[in-house]
């Protein structure tokens, strides 16, 4: 469970960092593109974290 929390917190923190920094971007089109890309990366990271946790659990870490 602790590993899951760490992974989820890392993914959330990275995504929030992008969102926070987007407020300073003057080019709104660029900001929208980067935000969308960050959302896609965060989603992929969530899916991959399930795989990582499954492997960790299979070797009892």
Q: Can you give the residue ranges of every domain in the chain?
A: 2-58
Answer whether 47's CB lies under 8 Å from 24's CB. Answer: no
pLDDT (0 to 100) of residue 4: 80
Cβ distance 11 to 45 under 8 Å?
A: yes
Expressed in angstroms, the distance from the first to the final Cα of the chain is 11
Q: Tens digits of per-residue pLDDT, 2-54?
A: 778 888 999 999 999 999 999 999 999 999 999 999 999 999 999 999 898 88
Query: What's the pLDDT at 40?
Result: 97
The pLDDT of residue 61 is above 80: no
φ/ψ of residue 60, rounded to 5: 60, 45
pTM over 0.85: no
Tell whether the model's pLDDT for residue 57 goes beyond 90: no
4 sits in which H/E element: helix 2-22
């Amino acid at each position: 469970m602790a590993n899951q929390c760490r992974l989820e917190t890392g993914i959330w923190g990275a995504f929030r960092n992008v969102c926070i920094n987007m407020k300073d971007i003057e080019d709104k089109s660029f900001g929208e593109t980067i935000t969308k890309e960050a959302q896609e990366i965060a989603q992929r990271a969530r899916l991959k974290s399930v795989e990582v946790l499954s492997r960790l659990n299979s070797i009892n870490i």
